[in-house]
Amino acid sequence: MKAMREAYGEALVELGRSNPNVVVLDADVASSSRSILFKQAFPDRFFNIGIAEGNMVGIASGLATAGKIPFVNTFAFLLALRAADSVRSLVAYNHLNVKLAGAYGGFSDSYDGASHQSVEDVSIMRTLPNMTVIVVADEFQAKQAVFAAAALEGPVYLRLSRAEVAPIYTENSKFEIGKGIVLQEGTDVTIVANGYMVTKAIEAAEILAKEGIKAEIVDMHTVKPIDAALLLASGRKTGAVVSVEEHSIYGGLGSAVAEVLAGELPLPLEILGIKDVFGESGAYEAILSKHGLDKVAVAAAARKAISRKK
Amino acid sequence: MSMDAAKEQQLKTIAKQMRIDIVKMLHNVKTGHPGGSLSAVEILTVLYHNQMNVNCKDACNCSRDRFIASKGHCAPVLYTTLADKGYFPKAELKNLRQLGCMLQGHPDMKRIPGVDISTGSLGLGLSVGVGMSLAGRLDKQDFYTYVLLGDGELQEGQNWEAVMAAAKFKLDHIIAIVDNNGVQLDGTLEDIMPMGDIGQKFAAFGWKVLTADGHDVRSIDAAIDQAKTVCGSPVVIIAKTVKGKGVSFMEGKNTWHGKAIEDKDFAIAMAELGGNNE
């Protein structure tokens, strides 16, 4: 098992080898984001901007206007909030080829507490026109997402995690931006998740299976553009949906799912996420459970969604 | 190389006509920012007509000099300049700020040929300039990146983050020009948020600081020539200017930062600038 950030840093190096236009910027957290691996491999194409996130994104924008493909690194909340105007007015508005990698998504920097956790980044990024938003689930997906983001012309937000979690994919798993992944087929309820919550969905499905409930599990790694076709097809089959995200219930995956269903297929939908509160210090799994983001809570939400079917 | 008298006269003529064009354009649509455009007329005239290596027929050439209007509300002076340089027909100026037009209220790189980065939200341009300059170094290009900053704009903290970064990376192909007109939207800098000695602030961060009379084409041109001789550090030119320069009732007035030009004011302005009333 490898930390996602380690896999991410290694992927940057590999990408840098094949594409000389890739440059990497960090705001004094290169050791944490693991962008330091790129620095060691390509010192001339790495820029440590210091503790100045807005400036970092602005510099990345300038580099992008000259044909570079900048990967910008810092903690997720800093990219979404401290650097927000540069992200909006430069990267998103101008459709610049800048890749924003938000380390430490959700509660994953658990012991540092609310100041360093990010419960609102996906919502903020999703609301920006032109922005593609990806929430990465494990080390293998991190690598694939890096390469896919580089291949896509335009702004991409990659939400990463500090947590060391068991992988659910392999090196050979398929990944395509905007295409959700059906991890398990089912007929009774659709559980849509992303990031580490995909693991919780898988665990919940095991609980439900023992009760005779067949859950379909979808990894909706790309929150924007969301794979509406897959979501609708799955919803038509199962008739009930649960969304699970390590993020505020406002504006993230659950909202994106609701927007799709409300327009075309108004099914019972249970939105699991962080209920409009900030995080706190503690052990990662303990915080997740406290906020209803564990297998028991997901299974309960699935039963509730099923019970609401007409 | 000092500017000869013929060149100086030519630039003065261009600047004079540009003021007329700016006021006409803004009067025509009854919206837009006159004050901060009129203060930057000579700066853009010298840049585009005597210093910058740009060509409208090859607007995306990777070795071209870059210009960033970080004070994006000076769009009118940029637009008249770009039209003059052939990037788009002058007729476009009539459609400024109108629905579906090329010339948005603030510069838009996706719509307007010759605009190197969209601006409008203050305090972002210098960061972009640092990025462009770093790209130039990576690509072994020797183009210059010019960043026009408002003095009020320098109240935005991100400018100083970019100032630090340009010095750290020893970028000697970025030249910032401060349009030092001393007036911002709500009043004078002195009243709203005093900036003290702007040059000393840049110098403290490791920049080479030059000064110029921002309404004297010869002075601006000489400062840019000197800036290009500096090695190993970024250069800022503090250009002393007058907001609303050339129109007596606008000069030094914060109320003309973004005010529509009505017919009676237009007639007076044209008389002063030597333009016709068309």
- Candidates A6, A10, A14, A53; catalytic one: A53
Among B167, B209, B60, B243, which residue's Cα sits nearest to residue A55?
B167
Q: Which long-range contacts (CB under 8 A, 24 or more apart) does B30-33 make?
A: B30/B260, B30/B261, B30/B262, B31/B96, B31/B97, B31/B105, B31/B260, B32/B75, B32/B76, B32/B96, B32/B97, B32/B105, B32/B258, B32/B260, B33/B73, B33/B74, B33/B75, B33/B76, B33/B257, B33/B258
Q: What would the mean pLDDT of B159-185 be, rounded to a whole number?
A: 98
Within 10 angstroms of residue B131's Cβ, the number of other Cβ atoms is 35
Which residue of B123, B128, B168 is in closest CB contact with A61?
B128
Among A106, A245, A78, A223, which residue's Cα sits nearest to residue A162?
A106
Which residue of A47, A58, A70 is in closest CB contact with B162?
A58
What is the C-alpha to C-alpha distance for residues A166 and A298, in angstroms, rounded to an integer?
A: 19
A152-193 pLDDT, tens digit per residue, is 999 999 999 999 889 999 999 999 999 999 999 999 999 999
Within 10 angstroms of residue B181's Cβ, the number of other Cβ atoms is 27
Residues of B whose CB is below 8 A from A19: none
- Closest-CA residue of A relative to B167 is A49
Comparing B25 with B258, the larger pLDDT belongs to B25
Which of B121, B127, B164, B171 should one mutate to test binding to chain A, selecting the residue with the greatest count of A CBs within 10 A? B127
Handedness of CA B263, B269, B271, B276 (dihedral sign): negative
Give yes or no for residue B197 having a pLDDT over 70. Answer: yes
Q: For residue A164, what pLDDT is reported?
A: 87
Residues of B whose CB is below 8 A from A55: 127, 130, 158, 161-162, 165
Give yes or no for residue B1 having a pLDDT over 70. Answer: no
Which of A65, A88, A153 should one mutate to test binding to chain B, selecting the residue with the greatest count of B CBs within 10 A? A65
Cβ atoms of B171 and B134 closer than 8 Å: yes
Q: Which long-range contacts (CB under 8 A, 24 or more apart) does B252-257 make?
A: B252/B181, B252/B182, B252/B183, B253/B35, B253/B183, B254/B35, B254/B183, B254/B184, B254/B185, B254/B186, B254/B187, B254/B188, B256/B34, B256/B35, B257/B33, B257/B35, B257/B36, B257/B73, B257/B183, B257/B184, B257/B185
Residues of A whose CB is below 8 A from B109: 65, 94
What is the C-alpha to C-alpha distance for residues A130 and A98, in angstroms, rounded to an integer?
A: 11
Is A42 an interface residue toward B (CB < 8 Å)? no
Which residue of B118, B161, B168 is in closest CB contact with A54?
B161
Give B124→chain A minimum CA distance, Å: 6
Q: For residue A165, what pLDDT is reported?
A: 86
Is A132 an interface residue toward B (CB < 8 Å)? no
Give B90→chain A minimum CA distance, Å: 24
Give yes or no for residue B33 having a pLDDT over 80. Answer: yes
- What is the token pair recorded at A200? 């919780």
Is A93 an interface residue toward B (CB < 8 Å)? yes
Give yes or no for residue B277 having a pLDDT over 90. Answer: no
Residues of A whose CB is below 8 A from B131: 58-66, 70
A35-64 pLDDT, tens digit per residue, is 999 999 999 999 999 999 999 999 999 999
Among A234, A223, A179, A178, which residue's Cα sits nearest to residue A197?
A223
- Closest-CA residue of A relative to B61 is A66
Percentage with pLDDT > 70 across chain A: 100
Q: For residue B200, what pLDDT is reported?
A: 98
The answer to whether A93 contacts B131, with C-beta atoms less than 8 Å apart, is: no
Is A81 an interface residue toward B (CB < 8 Å)? no
Interface of B with A (CB under 8 A): 62, 109-110, 116-121, 123-124, 126-136, 138-139, 145, 158, 161-162, 164-165, 168-169
Which residue of A23, A49, A58 is in closest CB contact with B128?
A58
pLDDT band with cut points at 50, 70 and 90 for residue B264: very high
B100-137 pLDDT, tens digit per residue, is 999 999 999 999 999 999 999 999 999 999 999 999 99
The answer to whether B138 contacts A23, with C-beta atoms less than 8 Å apart, is: yes
Which residue of A57, A66, A90 is in closest CB contact with B62?
A66
Q: Is residue A164 flagged as an active site residue?
A: no
Q: Which residues of chain A have pLDDT under 50?
A: none
Residues of A whose CB is below 8 A from B118: 89-90, 93-94
Give yes or no for residue B6 having a pLDDT over 70. Answer: yes
Which of A22, A55, A93, A95 should one mutate to test binding to chain B, selecting the residue with the greatest count of B CBs within 10 A? A55
